Amino acid sequence: MSPQQPPSDHVTIFDTTLRDGEQSPGCSMNTAEKLEVAKSLVELGVDVIEAGFPIASPGDFEAVEKIAREFGDRATICGLSRCREADIDAAWNAVQHAERHRIHVFLATSAIHREHKLKMDKDAIVRTAVEMVSRAKSYCDDIEFSPEDAARTEFDFLCEVVERAIEAGATTINIPDTVGYAMPEQYGNVFRKLRESVPNIGGVTLSTHCHNDLGLAVANSLAAVEAGARQIECTINGLGERAGNASLEEVVMALRTRQDYFGLETGINSKKLCPISHLVSSITGMKIQRNKAIVGQNAFAHEAGIHQHGVLQERSTYEIIRPEDVGYVGTNLVLGKHSGRHAFRDRVKELGHELDDETLQKVFDDFIALADKKKEVFDSDIVALVENRRGSQPERWTIVSVHTLAGSGTVPTATVKLQDKNGDVYCDAGIGDGPIHAVFKATERITGLSARLEDYQVRSVSGGKDALAEVLVEISIHGRHFHGKAISTDTIEASAKAFLNALNKADTSGQPPIHPQRQAEALATP
């Protein structure tokens, strides 16, 4: 847009958690998990959901198509495409079922990419961009074009590519800082100069897509907004390749908290930020650092005495964001074993979770069982129970019982009993370096799946010696990674369930078991 015609005061939030975020090593999601995240993104109020890269795999295509069918009337569903005919066709076939759809076309423009990756000169770049944007435009009206590595592209050439892409039909021009190289002032100036130099830029939306290699993704995104960008491409928890992308929760709360400075607004329901942050962390297995802005465990913690005193007198002395405004859940004691289902349902709603009747009943049953084990049940316990049940799928194997024997001078041993989906029960034993290792070995013997444990994390959900333990595991089978999560007041039980959860995901992914004979050899019991 020209300097004489200021952009609107609404900033479009373009979420790419399901595309760029999923490209984080070890963060792949199956279709059911992507649908669950997409549902939460819609509830959050995201304007555009980049649901995936349809040409990448049949699974990616299926996920984008299903998201388009289910949520395309509540958000714009976008599919990514290289400047190739097959990519564009696949993107359109995946998103066409959405009432609101977009094709996002990209082509690298920087000298280093032209020379070393594409082996194309400037004329070929412009010609290809025009041809492919035109092809995408023949399918739908909403077309986004990204000159990849724009932040390192010669400015005159960037202007030429942008102008020609707009002529070909692009309605959104995204200026990516693909490798997180730009400085805020430098990046903002690219947008200012584009608005001054490209004659037909007034009719399109300028977008920012920043990576966090130097820790500047959010700062650069906000600099671009100051300079006239009105779309921010970002991800939940800042997920993304290498050091990640601009963090959605951070850019949203920066715009909201400093509305006096930016004078801009988004359509995001900020009270959903913590719930979706925890959901994405749970599904991807990427733990949120304690001091992460907005959604970290320490985001609203005050240990210094002078800070505590100030907050007690007036919260705004040291808190610029109210915890409740982002859906932050502390450890407030709210319910006990005699609390009724209606009180429980109301509390779940207050904590920012909408559950169907069937899921609510399962979570309530889990709550009653937990209340029998714990003297005190906290809000954080309830959130953990909800997250443990949300989006759960029927699994091939479930745990019947786990028994371990361990101690000084004893060989750690575990006996595990599992039930398959047909109701048959199998029992086997294993030894290991410790009780949890022994449980994992026995579980592998029964399921016939042999996995490499890549990561194992345990954390306390709330306070107290009887606190719920949350266990996250990451395993690899045939080079593919799977995550599992479970909670219990018994750490060994939680570990067994988390490991089995990951194995179940591997089992349904079509991977062949390593030792299929083990299932037949297991000690079947009536």
How does pLDDT run across 164-175, given as a tens digit for each residue? 999 999 999 999
Overall average pLDDT of the 223-238 stretch:
98
Q: Are 369 and 363 in contact (CB under 8 A)?
A: no
Q: What range defines the domain where residue 279 resides? A: 12-284
Give the domain CATH number at 413. Answer: 3.30.160.270
SS3 478: coil
pTM: 0.82
Give the domain CATH number at 60. Answer: 3.20.20.70
Query: Domain check: are 183 and 263 in the same one?
Result: yes
Overall average pLDDT of the 121-140 stretch:
98
| Neighbouring-strand partners of residue 425 | 419, 525
Within-domain flag for 135 = yes
Tokens of 53: 């890269």
Query: Domain check: are 380 and 402 in the same one?
Result: no
Provide the pLDDT for residue 25.
65
The residue out of 253, 284, 315 marking a domain boundary is: 284
C-alpha angle with apex 457: 455 to 462, nearest 5 degrees?
A: 165
Overall average pLDDT of the 173-179 stretch:
98
Question: What is the spatial distance between Cα 346 and Cα 442, in angstroms, rounded to a whole number?
Answer: 41
Within-domain flag for 320 = no
Question: What is the spatial distance between Cα 252 and Cα 517, in angstroms, rounded to a whole number?
Answer: 53
398: CB partners within 8 A, 6+ apart: 418, 419, 500
DSSP state of 490: S
Tokens of 212: 């966090």
Question: What is the spatial distance between Cα 334 and Cα 268, in angstroms, rounded to a whole number?
Answer: 28
pLDDT at 336 exceeding the cut of 80:
no
Within-domain flag for 291 = no
Q: What is the CA radius of gyration of the chain?
A: 25
Provide the pLDDT for residue 60.
93
Overall average pLDDT of the 385-389 stretch:
82
Within-domain flag for 299 = no
Query: Domain check: are 445 and 401 in the same one?
Result: yes
Query: Domain check: are 372 and 422 in the same one?
Result: no
Mean pLDDT, the chain, rounded, equals 88
Within-domain flag for 223 = yes
Query: Domain check: are 368 and 280 in the same one?
Result: no
Query: Domain check: are 429 and 461 in the same one?
Result: yes
Provide the pLDDT for residue 523.
36
Structure confidence by residue, pLDDT tens digits, 33-68: 899 999 999 999 999 999 999 999 999 999 999 999
Query: Domain check: are 375 and 472 in the same one?
Result: no
Query: Domain check: are 103 and 119 in the same one?
Result: yes
Query: Domain check: are 277 and 380 in the same one?
Result: no
Q: How much of the chain, in percent, has pLDDT values that exceed 90?
A: 63
Q: Residue 290 CB: number of other CB atoms within 10 A?
A: 10
Provide the pLDDT for residue 511.
45
Structure confidence by residue, pLDDT tens digits, 258-298: 999 999 999 999 999 998 998 898 888 888 888 899 998 77
The residue out of 339, 371, 389 marking a domain boundary is: 389
Query: Domain check: are 115 and 207 in the same one?
Result: yes
Q: Please tell me the total count of domains within the chain.
A: 3
Q: Which position has the higher pLDDT, 489 or 393?
A: 489
Question: What is the spatial distance between Cα 5 and Cα 228, in angstroms, rounded to a whole number?
Answer: 10
Provide the pLDDT for residue 6.
54
Q: Which position has the higher pLDDT, 5 or 203?
A: 203
405: CB partners within 8 A, 6+ apart: 412, 413, 414, 435
The residue out of 249, 284, 319 marking a domain boundary is: 284
Q: Region of 174 please: left (phi>0), alpha (psi -120 to 50) or beta.
A: beta
pLDDT at 514 exceeding the cut of 70:
no
Within-domain flag for 402 = yes
Closest listed residue to residue 51, CA positions, set 77, 22, 74: 77
CA–chain centroid gap for 359, Å, is 22
Within-domain flag for 292 = no
Provide the pLDDT for residue 333.
55
Closest listed residue to residue 183, CA positions, set 141, 213, 160, 148: 213
Within-domain flag for 237 = yes
Query: Domain check: are 383 and 405 in the same one?
Result: no
Query: Domain check: are 142 and 20 in the same one?
Result: yes
SS3 357: helix
- Dihedral angle sign, alpha carbons of residues 432, 437, 440, 444: negative
